[in-house]
Amino acid sequence: MGGGLLGMLLAVLLVVCIVLLIVFLASRKNKTPVAAVTAAQTATPAAQDRFLAILNEQKAASGMGVQEYEERRLILEGARSDNHANAEIVALKERYARGELTTSAYVEARAKLLGLS
């Protein structure tokens, strides 16, 4: 009788181990590599800082008014979640920060690039 109980416990333990192994392997398969996540998170703030630096330079060089500066800063900061790996988005934001585009032209071009219109 002792061997039967021990055999049943070992069988249950084996099944539990197999289930845990399957869960572990399945969870690893669906995870994004840490390096890719870290690269994506660090690229966005650096690009955003560059856009704001360009905007600050433009404000100092051209005597941009406070209202226009704040509008451009808020719009650039509101688009933090954009994919900065897209060179067209980056170029568009740089042009907007330099004052080459009006706000309406920027919003329209951004919507077109992102497929929002």
Same domain, 87 and 73: yes
Same domain, 44 and 8: no
* Mean residue pLDDT across the chain: 80
Predicted pLDDT of residue 108: 92
Lookup result for tokens 């497929």: 115
Same domain, 52 and 21: no
pTM over 0.75: no
Same domain, 59 and 107: yes
- Average pLDDT on 48-61 reads 89
Same domain, 17 and 48: no
Predicted pLDDT of residue 23: 81
Same domain, 1 and 51: no
Predicted pLDDT of residue 117: 67
Q: How many domains does the chain divide into?
A: 2
- The answer to whether the beta carbons of residues 74 and 51 sit under 8 Å apart is no
Same domain, 66 and 9: no
Same domain, 13 and 40: no
Same domain, 9 and 53: no
Predicted pLDDT of residue 29: 65
Predicted pLDDT of residue 40: 45
Same domain, 10 and 51: no
pLDDT (tens digit, 9 = 90+) per residue, 58-101?
988 888 888 999 998 888 888 777 777 888 888 999 999 998 99
Same domain, 43 and 79: yes
Q: Which range marks the domain in which residue 40 is found?
A: 34-114
